[in-house]
Every structure is written in structure tokens, then in C-alpha cells.
Amino acid sequence: MNIRQLEVFRAIMRDGTITAAANSLGVSQPAVSKLLAYLEDQLGYPLFERIAGRLVPTTEAHLLYGDADRVFRQLEALSSLARDIGASKIGLIRIGASLPLAYSVLPVALAAFRKRHPEVKIHLHTLPKREIAEALSLGDVDIGITLSPILAPTVRVETLFSAEIVAILPASDPLAAETSLAPSTLVGRPLISYGSHAEFGAALDDAFASAGQARSVSIQIASSVGALPLVRQGLGIALVDGLALWNPIEGIVSRPFRPTVPTPVSLTINEARPQSRFVAAFSDCLRQAFADASQSSDCATAEDSTVGSPKT
């Protein structure tokens, strides 16, 4: 039994006559009769009987028809899926992102991407940078978004946004009146920040050392996302990446930390692996989200300077 024979059988069962089946299939009546005869010969039993001039399905035909119809419906669905994939309507993109990005700009970019490609499935993995690099190498994700570049022979890295370490503190704190905060202004204040072994922790240690200070971390965190509730509870001032306060929180402000400690947002693609066709479209949405945020930040800064308020 082949697909064409099964298609003819299904059409006869559905349409009731060989003539009607031939018309629906767009073939001649003799061709349908011949294919049906071949099928019955292969099966070894008749599928239809002629009674009073009418074609009547046998019991065996009724038993076969349910599964035959199901198979063709699945084939039709598969054909439709293949057409949609070819038209770039359906697909999959797998994203590996650092946690601060998942809580800041990524939802904005994903919303814009989903609006343009509503049928594309998105697999989002929030992982440490080391695990994102490994997932890219293995081909488990199509794109990596991290707070510093992933360096490997086969990857292409693009800097999307020039973020920096900021100080996050309660708006009621006297230091909130400062336009920026330095190691000297933070002496004696409990700090919430990365450990010295972490990538930005070592850079912060150097910044404090250059000012003749030793950085003493009161509460050590792995991600800036965890700093906000601690600051809200008055447990200290957080020195973390600027994405932590991407979305304003009432009663909490951020101030630039000086000297500058960069935390560039990087987009990474492994060119040694096959790429999802939607990587370019999603990357555009991500770039636009950062561009829009930068513009909003510039407008907010200009407004703050007009009224004499510190930047938040």
C-alpha cells in the first residue's frame, strides 16, 4: 500500500463514488479505478461492493478508513507546517541570557520580536556567562547575551550597550544628593556587591585600590537582580551593573560610580554552528530596545538637569 493508493481509497470513502473521487483528486475515472484495483489485489480482500448500482464500502474498508483519514490529516498538517516554515512564519530561536538582562531589556525586545513573528517559539535560558558560552559551543542556544564578551575562536561578538557599574541606594539616603559616588564617599557604608573572584568584583577592587581604599563587601551577591530587595530593606548600598535598575522602582535611585567600571552588554553568535533564521530579526529588536532606552535615558537626564534633580 502506497500513499497514492491510500489517497484514492480515502477519496472514494469520503465522496461516495469513483467519479466524485476522480473529480476531487483531479484525475481520470479509469486511473482511480485502476489504483483501487491494485490496492485490493495487494490487500487480498475487496474494499467496496456494487449493490443496486451503488458502491458500498465493506466492513474492512470501514476499519481502514479511520486510520487512513488520520494519516492524511497529519500529512496535510505537516505540509502546512513545512509551507509556514518556508515562509518564515514558524520556527524556533534559543536564547541564553544573563539574569540581569532577562529582568531588564530582554522582555522589551522579546515583545517586539513576538509582535513581528507570533508563531516563532522562544526558548529562553537564564544562565551564568560560563554556561552560556558552553551552550553556544555545543549548539544548545542560538544567541548569547551577556554583560561582558564571550571570547572563543568561532564566535562573533557585538557590543550592544555600554553599561557601567552604578551605586543603587534609597532615595532618602543623603548620598542620593550626589551626582556620582566614589570609593571615598562610600567609606564606612555597608556594600552589597560581587565577590572579588567575580569578573566585575576584581575590577571594583582595583577601582577602590586606586583610590587608596579597600573594598569591603557586607553582602556578597552573584547577580545584580538580587541586590534590589536588599537595598529596599536598608541593608546597604549596592555596587552592581546598571541594568539592575533598568525599570525605575519607587524609593530607589542609582548614581554613577567613579572611576568607571564598564559592563558592556554583548551579543554573541557561534558562527561554527547552524543559525536560526530568526537570529537576525531578534538581534534587530534587541538593538532597537537598547536604542529606545538610551534615548529615554537622555531625555530623563535633560529633564532632571532642568529641575535641578539628581539623575535616577
CATH code, domain with 228? 3.40.190.10
Residue 226, in any domain of the structure: yes
Residue pLDDT, tens place only, 226-264: 999 999 999 999 999 999 888 888 999 999 999 999 999
The pLDDT value recorded for residue 246 is: 87
Would you state the pLDDT for residue 300?
A: 46
- Number of domains into which the chain is organized: 3
Domain containing 96 equals 92-162+264-307
Residues 158 and 172 in one domain: no
Same-domain check for residues 154 and 269:
yes
pLDDT the model gives residue 4: 84
What's the CATH number where 81 sits?
1.10.10.10
Q: Residue holding cell 489517497?
A: 7
Q: Is 205 a residue whose pLDDT tops 90? A: yes
Residue 206: all three cell numbers together: 582595583
Q: State the virtual CA torsion across 206, 211, 212, 218 in degrees, nearest 10.
A: -60
- Whether 244 and 175 map to the same domain: the answer is yes
170 and 296, same structural domain?
no
Q: Is the pLDDT of residue 281 over 50?
A: yes
Q: Are residues 242 and 169 in the same domain?
A: yes
**Residues 106, 62: one domain?**
no
Q: Which residues of 231-252 are buried (b: 16+ CB within 10 A; e: fewer)?
A: beeeebbbbbbbbbbbeebeeb
